[in-house]
Amino acid sequence: MNKKVTLIDLGEKDYKDTWDYQEKLFQSILDVKVSNRREDKNEQTANYLLFVEHPHVYTLGKSGDMENLLLNEDQLKAKDATFYKINRGGDITYHGPGQIVGYPILDLENFFTDIHKYLRLLEETMILVLRDYGVESGRSEGETGVWLGVGTPFARKICAMGVRASRWVTMHGFALNVNSDLGYFDNIIPCGIRGKGVTSLNVELGVDYVDEDEVRAKIIKYFSELFEAQVVENKLEQ
């Protein structure tokens, strides 16, 4: 089992270009697995963790409802935002500047074959990161992601998650609001959940800006520990 995870920081990158890149890495892992089974080989499969910041974009998962997007095409243009229907689970969400988006593209057969455990460990990674900043967070029953104020009238989501998996290979992932413009969430019903809010780390801390490099470093630390992985940075050509 290969527990090495190649970290690739894409910086700011268009959503569709990043999606295509994810698909390329995802398919490369699947191809190795299929070849191994057909030809009775034992070639190791790779694992990746992509970090990226997207320009303003709304994405709708395969089980999502278009009515949860509250903007028409002209209004999207006015907001300088794009929209995509995509092949992850979940409903609608927003990505944009000030948000740390992570796409783990893992062969879970290198770690464990349990999608439920995979999602819970991603959530736990964020919970531990937030705890380092003195922000207590947790899970909301039946709602994937990381929340603050669960069980109160002020429940609010700080990290959205949606994944796709095939033959135990994952793609898509998490979006942690660090310095996000929360006004963009007013244009959707986030994750299709009514009556609950959205927040960002800088808002919870009452500051203008939180060091995003520091947050990314903490994500890597806790991801490595929880997945018992060796995360190695590698700047590849995209």
From the annotation, which residues make up the binding site? 88-95, 160-162, 173-175
- The answer to whether 234 and 9 are in contact (CB under 8 A) is no
Active site annotation includes 159: no
Known binding-site positions for substrate: 88-95, 160-162, 173-175
- C-alpha to C-alpha distance for 96 and 53, rounded to whole angstroms: 7
Strand runs labelled E in the chain: 4-12, 48-53, 57-60, 82-85, 92-95, 99-105, 138-140, 143-148, 156-166, 169-177, 197-198, 230-233
- The answer to whether 113 and 165 are in contact (CB under 8 A) is no
Please tell me which residue in 5, 119, 191, 198 is annotated as part of the active site: 191
CA proximity to 116, closest of 135, 99, 139: 139
Catalytic residue ranges = 191
